[in-house]
Amino acid sequence: MNTVDNLIDLLSLEETSKNVFQGVSKTVGSPNVFGGQVLAQALNAAARTINNGRVLHSMHAYFLEAGHLEVPINYNVADVRDGGSFSVRRVTAEQEGRTIFILSSSFHKREEGHEHQIEMPPNIRKPEELLSWTEMLEQFGDAIPSRTKTFLEIDRPIEFKPVEVVNPFNKEDLPPKTNVWFKIKGDIKPMNLAVKQQILTYISDYNILAAAMNRHASKAHWGNTQTASLDHSMWYFRDFDFDDWMLYAIESPNTSNARGFAKGNIFTREGKLVASVAQEGLMRPIKK
């Protein structure tokens, strides 16, 4: 899976009966189903039941059990409410009779109102000045730890360019933040807003817990820490296009009780705030 067309195919579910949809999985380097995939597929299912032109503005989800890559996922959509301005859908994802994930999403009719937004972080290096994951692998492959190298070798429909590159051999704590530029691969065809939001949601589960890990980099890394997404929330503010690089600016206000919390804002290159994200994830030190 290395183009946006592959990703759209993955996120486009088969409707098996009324309000029931089925999807398959593709690995991103983990032995379990990628959380971003389940989030985006659940939103695809929810959006397919919206017939009044309303637009997704928020979603809140919990990951209950790890998903198996080889087993189809069934998404059951409940029509919770269709009010005068908002429509709410609840999605339950199941594998072999087990509930592995739940999501609530809200859709709002288009309205005019007051508007403001925060500014994009200042003095961020531009993507043209940075190396992508692919370029890092090509230039430094032999020096990259084997676990990280295996992760980077997976084909992806998105290219990432981190602004701050963590050296795994420098055992020092870093600021609890990270900034990553991203761009989808392949020919970009016209997409409706719902599809763009689903792709953005898929991408939002990448990199976010890295901000929490950075603060403990002197002793914690992906090889000695058990990590998993526990919950994920996202708010969608403005329409956008994928025709240029976008910035995911992430910070982690807290880690405690073997959990890390991080929040992020997604901007276009021009600084338009497109969406905000919040996630808490498991950060459990692996005991020898």
Known catalytic residues are 205, 229, 279
The residue behind tokens 């709410």 is 88
Query: Cβ(16)–Cβ(172) under 8 Å?
Result: no
* Beta carbons of 172 and 214 less than 8 angstroms apart: no
Which residues, including other chains, have CB under 8 Å from residue 136's CB and lie 6 or more apart? 144, 152, 165
Under a CB-based contact definition with an 8 Å cutoff, are residues 59 and 51 in contact?
A: no
* Spatial distance between the Cα atoms of 224 and 205, rounded to a whole number of angstroms: 20
Q: How far apart are CA 286 and CA 288, in angstroms?
A: 6
Pairwise CA distance, residues 183 & 203, whole Å: 10
